[in-house]
Amino acid sequence: MQRTQSPLLARLSRVNPTGVFLAALALVLVGLLTPGIVGGLLLLLLAAALVALLRLTWPVQTPTTRLIRLLMLTLLVGVALAKLL
């Protein structure tokens, strides 16, 4: 590990991508199917985790990837806010 590399990024690089995808998919489905404020809060919690991940990986992403991630994050926050209202 390089001196400038974050230990968190090193740990995240060892995580199984399929497992993370399935866990995020399950959380989105639970958030969408749970009525009212609880579902909206679950979706906002997922969005906050994705913002943290986006912040960590921003320097190494291409502009196209950044745009797609921002659009998906905006969609997720919009759905979460719609569920809260």
Q: Is the pTM of this model over 0.85?
A: no
The whole-number pLDDT of residue 60 equals 86
Q: Which residues contact 83 (CB under 8 A, 6 or more apart)?
A: 31, 32, 36, 37, 39, 40, 43
Which residue has better confidence, 5 or 24?
24
pLDDT tens readout for residues 43-56: 999 999 999 888 98
pLDDT tens readout for residues 49-85: 999 888 988 888 899 999 999 999 999 999 999 998 8
Domain boundaries, the chain: 7-84
How far CA 23 is from CA of 29, 31, 53, in Å, comes to: 10, 12, 15
